[in-house]
Structure 1
Amino acid sequence: MTSQRAVERGASVLIDAGSLTRCRHRLYLDTAYSALLRQEPENPGVRQRREAARAQREDIRSRLSETLDGWTEIEAPDARTASELTMAACRRRVPWIWNAVLPIERTTGRRGRSEILMLDPVDGGYIPIIVVNHKVTDPGRGARTSRLTEWAPAVDETRKVRSQLRDQLRLAHLYRMLDFEGIASPNAHGGAIGYRAECILVHDLTTVFDEYDARFLDRLSVARGESFTVPSQVSECRSCPWWTDCRPQLVANRDVSLVASGMRADALREQGVSTIDELADFSGPEPDNWPFGSFTDAVAAATAWRAGVPLLRRTDEVTVHRADVEVDVDMESYQEHGAYMWGTLLTEKGGPPAQYRGFVTWDPLPTVDEGRSFAEFWAWLMGKRADAAARGKTFAAYCYSRAAEDKWLLDSARRFGDISGVPTEAEIREFIDSEQWVDIYQAVSDQFICPNGKGLKKIAPVAGFEWRDAEAGGEASMGWYREAVGYDAEPDTTQRERLLVYNEDDVRATKVLREWMSDRAEIEIPTLESLRSAV
């Protein structure tokens, strides 16, 4: 490409706020090879999140349009017409503008749209408000919020901010565009309406402008082909259409991001460490800008990857809490809508073969029937606990990565407290804070170094477990659930059975992994010292 062509191409490149948190190399590929991208099928998980976000926006539009005075909606066949209609509404000082499209800025490279533009009732000018399908607050205090139907920011004694940098960056992007047109509120505020739409979370955008401006200039340079990028593994890779092209390059180059992804790889490259072999042989101090996690573990993971070893032991002995009566638990949820299934696997020492039981609602979430199924699960689990105690038996319940289970246990108690059989939040906390609630993920983290990741589907196969469904996974199960409950068509009972099998395999996987840790892990998995001495 000639320099003149590069200038012409760069001048035509426009980016939106989504580019600011996207992988830099993906942004380059999306821009430079967009024609190829159109031929790729959309990732199912991405499609499901997009459809859920659309449903959330429609719900908010419907609610607000019925209650707000001065409400107008922008409907147009193309972006240019939509932006003209938006600006015309702004000139008329319409109080609430839905589906606002701002004029593209060819000189700066910005494009963007806001679910809502709200006229500042005090200082004039417009405030961008976005509608998102994730939580923007948590129980707590200190967030600044406003009611949905008016702009009156105040400190909220019931909510704290749930950090969402992508929301802040998007709002900063929109504010810059409003300011470019001379119609921004002077207060530099933005708002976010999140899942459940209980309030508008108010953001002070002055706190994020510096980061926004730096990111925007960097991403615009990447999109214009002015900054060089290379593949590097990040969390986004698993849903990226370019991953099938990038991963072979990373493996061929033995790229360090395969064992130390994201910001850790960036920190290592700044130290001149770009390959797994260089990291495995590294003998210097921990980099000053090492972002998170154990640097020593990263070096060990590189050593294991180079040797083709799936795990390394941290300790001479591998231990895991065991009991006479053991229950494996796995919860299935759908986005932030609720937990529709609690799967259990009951095993008793010297008793019959392990027995699976799923507690489930097939009413589409959100539904009050979720409370009924949760109450049945809790009564069953506490019944097994009490029965073991009455017989003088020890009891333990197991999960893999307790954060999700803990979240939905506590959330279910809060949401369904008026349903018979649903425990109080205090009862939930008593159980999950006890030694009888065991996180196998934590036991794995404490005793193994895992170069390929610590997810259950990465670790359980090392113990000899395989899922019956070759497509089993969190993203796939979201699609199965939509079909099972009939979000888009008639309910598909075969997908219900598929979800039950998937859930049963998850709890059986934790059982197999626990037993392997007790019986064979010390023999089959080397320590870092023994691996190095064998070389």
Structure 2
Amino acid sequence: MRSSVLIDAGSLTRCRHRLYLDTAYSALQRDEPENPGVRQRREAAAAHREATRAAFAATESGWTEIDAPDARSASEMTMAACRRKARWIWNAVLPLDHEHGRRGRSEMLMLDPSGAGYIPVIVVNHKVTDPGRGATTTPFDRWTPSVDETRKVRSQLRDQLRLAHLYRMLEREGLASPTAIGGAIGYRAECILVHDLETVFAEYDSRFADRLAVARGESFTVPSQVSECRSCSWWSDCKPQLTANRDVSLVASGMRAEVLREHGVFTIDDLADWTGPEPQDWPFGSFDDAVAAATAWRADVPLLRRTERTTVHRADVEVDVDMESYQEHGAYLWGTLLTEQGGQPPVYRGFVTWDPLPTVDEGRSFAEFWGWLMGKRRDAAERGKTFAAYCYSRQAEDKWLLDSARRFGAVPGVPTEAEIREFIDSEQWVDIYQAVSDQFICPGGKGLKKIAPVAGFTWRDDEAGGEASMGWYRDAVGYDGEPDLSQRERLLVYNEDDVQATKVLREWMTDRADLEIPTLESLRAGA
């Protein structure tokens, strides 16, 4: 018999080297503290699953819950429920598949309407659809899959691979539905998204074979920087190796590094010295920018200018805006920094609700923010002054501006979607992230906390960051106990520093960037 190493579906989208380390050196992980962001997402997902379970248990007939002290007992109970053809099985644990190396569990198994097998249904704490049309969905109270005229599929390969994994395990037990489909219940639990698994089996089988070989030590892996590294406990071991080797993934991470290695480019120096045409299989982003980023990294230069002169839209009256949200529950804080050229010192003001999200009081704080912002806009126009509002990476702000208008339209002072769109589509809504992207090459990343220090800004809180702020928010509103007022102040300071950072960065781009940051051409000329 082959090695008894077993993997679950989560391994299929995880870093290959992390999978090897987790499997080969699992004992070293036991005392590692859990990443706060990972913990918060895990707890939120558990709460979402429980809410979904309670909703189904209250309405569905033929409902069975698996509650056992260990995985073996749980799998035996699951199989017993399947043999008696229970319609719904919650917290299903499938028997370990030592022959093929699989282990897995499904939030739900649903008996196919024909009674011939089971359909795996997973519950996930992220969106599985977006507004649109074309998704196949079914309501909770009846299994009637049809094309949904209000929703389109949001691509979530991890969900499809997990469903394929569970289907393969059901197949081995002779319990799979004759129709190769699976279901996913996403954030807000509005419907079941139905996936045709035939479209993903080839990808699943290929990935599973690869990851199983890695876990068994049959396939060689090396460190490589990917987005997952930010929350990985092995990063403190991998990063020094990558830096010492001057690994190309430090400036061209993920799939880009994989493509470069296939072309014989393994180090940053190899990439900086590239002279040929762009690889035909280059996956995304500008290849020239990747070469320039390697050149800057080698010269220990934090940024490169794309243009001879750096410009950014400026106005007489400027408002920096930064929003703080908690997962998908809402936006609890809209922070502003008002600056008037030749006027008083900049003034910070936060529009906030400390009622735990989700709460209707979010609508009140949003209405106050919008009314204040539009008041400053009107006042500037009446005085013959120009006006602009700034954010850093507008995607999140735009999302919550529009979402707040949709959710709180009945609250006095909340604008319509049309009013929001008129503003965010105007030249008065300026994304400093886009200005940075257009005018700089950033080998270390383009996040505000990467770029603002180059302009001389530092945050007052050494732990400031999106992941940390999630934990502060939980404490601030009392999700897990009494509200901690000190954490409320900490969040306001963090938010104020974010808008101050945007202001400092904008002013630096106007006044000093041309003097302090070289162009690629000037860097190469001085080499």
TM-score (norm 1): 0.98
For 2:524, what is the secondary structure of its paired residue?
helix
Deviation at 1:502, TM superposition (A): 0.3
Any conservation in 1 of the 2:85–2:115 contact (CA below 8 Å)? Answer: no
Q: Per-residue displacement from partner, 1:421-448 (whole Å, max 9, x unpaired)?
A: 1111111111000000000000000000
Any conservation in 2 of the 1:440–1:510 contact (CA below 8 Å)? Answer: yes
Structure 2 residue 204 is the aligned partner of structure 1 residue 212: yes
In 1, Cα distance between equivalents of 2:392 and 2:204: 37
In 2, Cα distance between equivalents of 1:255 and 1:279: 10
Deviation at 1:186, TM superposition (A): 1.0
Q: Per-residue displacement from partner, 1:352-380 (whole Å, max 9, x unpaired)?
A: 00000001111111111111111110000
In 2, Cα distance between equivalents of 1:149 and 1:212: 30
Match of 1:424 among 411, 416, 420: 416
In 2, Cα distance between equivalents of 1:518 and 1:123: 69
The code of the aligned residue for 2:202 comes to: D
Deviation at 1:141, TM superposition (A): 1.0
Q: Per-residue displacement from partner, 1:338-357 (whole Å, max 9, x unpaired)?
A: 11110000000111000000
Q: Per-residue displacement from partner, 1:217-248 (whole Å, max 9, x unpaired)?
A: 00000000000000000000010000000000
For 1:107, what is the secondary structure of its paired residue?
coil
The code of the aligned residue for 2:353 comes to: T
Q: Tell me the residue number matched to 2:491.
A: 499
For 1:191, what is the secondary structure of its paired residue?
strand
The code of the aligned residue for 1:417 comes to: G
Any conservation in 2 of the 1:343–1:358 contact (CA below 8 Å)? Answer: yes
Task: Map 1:26-425; keep pairs closer than 5 Å.
Answer: 26-122=18-114, 124-425=116-417
The code of the aligned residue for 1:300 comes to: A
Deviation at 1:289, TM superposition (A): 1.3
Unaligned runs of 5+ in 1: 1-7
Task: Map 1:431-446; keep pairs closer than 5 Å.
Answer: 431-446=423-438
Comparing 105-114 with 144-153, greater Cα deviation is found at 144-153
Deviation at 1:285, TM superposition (A): 1.3
In 2, Cα distance between equivalents of 1:204 and 1:123: 19
In 2, Cα distance between equivalents of 1:460 and 1:299: 23
Any conservation in 2 of the 1:329–1:343 contact (CA below 8 Å)? Answer: yes
RMSD across aligned C-alpha pairs, in angstroms? 0.7
In 1, Cα distance between equivalents of 2:381 and 2:202: 59
Q: Count the aligned residue pairs.
A: 527
Deviation at 1:123, TM superposition (A): 5.6
Deviation at 1:149, TM superposition (A): 2.1
For 1:99, what is the secondary structure of its paired residue?
strand
In 1, Cα distance between equivalents of 2:338 and 2:67: 56
In 2, Cα distance between equivalents of 1:430 and 1:513: 26
For 2:3, what is the secondary structure of its paired residue?
helix
In 1, Cα distance between equivalents of 2:522 and 2:138: 60
The code of the aligned residue for 2:498 comes to: D
Unaligned runs of 5+ in 2: none
Any conservation in 2 of the 1:11–1:107 contact (CA below 8 Å)? Answer: no
Task: Map 1:509-520; keep pairs closer than 5 Å.
Answer: 509-520=501-512
Structure 1 runs of 4+ aligned residues shifted over 4 Å read none
The code of the aligned residue for 1:413 comes to: A
TM-score (norm 2): 0.99
In 2, Cα distance between equivalents of 1:122 and 1:392: 72
Q: Per-residue displacement from partner, 1:289-313 (whole Å, max 9, x unpaired)?
A: 1110000000000000000000000
